[in-house]
Amino acid sequence: MSNPANGPAPRPGDVTGVPHPAWMDPLMTACTDGSFDGLLPRRRPPEDRGPNEVGRPHRDAAVLVLFSGSEDAPGPQPPSDARVLLTHRATTLRNHSGQISFPGGGVDDTDSGPVEAALREAWEETGLDPHGVDVLAVLPELYIPVSNYSVAPVLGYWREPMEVDVVDPGETARVMTVPVDELLDPANRFLLRHTTGWTGPAFQHDDLVVWGFTAGILAAMFHSAGWDLDWDTSDIRDLEKTLAASANGEQHRMSAEEARRESADPLADRTVAGVPGLSARAADGTVAGGTAPDGGLAGDGEQPADGEESLDLPADNPRRGYR
């Protein structure tokens, strides 16, 4: 793993200065000039980072957004061999079963910060060797009020790709290095909408659907880096029907009370993550409401079980955002 020598552990908002391929220059620029962050809704954690309104303690977490691809490719578009590391959560999990996500989890007391946490979790989930990863930046935190988590995406370049696979089948069903070209293909891009009005970007990968937090981060990165190809943003599909027809194995529910509470939130930001100019509003111009099933984490509407790290969430959840 490459990090600045003799320096402190990178924190949210830090750029490490570690060299990266030229084709990643547009993405690095977008992640440092605010373009990426500007495509995502914003919320801030409590100043004291204490317990939330229901007494849930605050916790820091991190996810690893890891790209690979030819080191000598000039760019500005990613090379044909560019890939991103994703996991398919086990369908037997109590929370967020079947979702496609970045590797990640909570920052432990023994971790030096989000970088060590993201790499440790990636190793535990996929067998990834951290020594083959160049950490480029730690992006601003994403705050999840309902769970009181602050999640920092760690951006990395996979300098020495290796074979990765499922480590614990009880946690992970599949480990994938997905071609970036496939995700950028307009034929594989669309929007998902819940009946309450929640709307977010999505990608098709084989028989799986990438949506929520993972898709929001990818969509914002692709657009802000200038990698987007023209795709049909009017292709809006029903969330529950689309997931049911996929191989994700997800169960997605949202209670009427959650929908009512979210639609009544005067601070709700209905920006569709990573898709500029779109918002999740009803045809009559009123806020349609809606968010992730549990008010912050995409999943089955239940709070995470003790000891289970459930981090995947819709990036356009109106109750969350970047610090």
State yes or no: pLDDT of 294 exceeds 80. Answer: no
Convert the pLDDT of each residue in 71-129 to its tens digit.
Answer: 999 989 999 999 999 999 887 776 667 889 999 988 988 988 999 999 999 999 999 99
Contact 212, 315 (CB under 8 A): yes
CA distances for 305 relative to 58, 179, 320, angstroms: 16, 33, 21
Categorize the per-residue pLDDT at 251 as very low, low, confident or very high, splitting at 50, 70 and 90: low
Categorize the per-residue pLDDT at 317 as very low, low, confident or very high, splitting at 50, 70 and 90: very low
Convert the pLDDT of each residue in 183-219 to its tens digit.
Answer: 999 999 999 988 777 788 999 999 999 998 899 999 9
- Among the listed ranges 44-53, 78-87, 164-173, 175-184, which one has the minimum average pLDDT value? 44-53
> What is the residue-averaged pLDDT of the chain?
79
The predicted model gives 244-264 an average pLDDT of 62
- Find, among 279, 286, 285, 311, the residue nearest to 298 by Cα: 311
CA distances for 300 relative to 79, 94, 252, 293, angstroms: 37, 8, 5, 6
CA 73/CA 69 separation, integer angstroms: 8
> pTM value?
0.82
Residue 102 main-chain phi, psi, to 5 deg: -75, 150
Q: Which residues, including other chains, have CB under 8 Å from residue 123's CB and lie 6 or more apart?
A: 129, 130
The position carrying tokens 């079980």 is: 305
Categorize the per-residue pLDDT at 153 as very low, low, confident or very high, splitting at 50, 70 and 90: very high
pLDDT for 227 equals 98
The predicted model gives 12-23 an average pLDDT of 91
Convert the pLDDT of each residue in 61-72 to its tens digit.
Answer: 999 999 999 999
Query: ∠ at Cα 119 (145, 250), nearest 5°?
Result: 55
For 74, the token pair is 């000039």
Characterize the bridge pairing of strands 189-193 and 236-238.
Answer: parallel
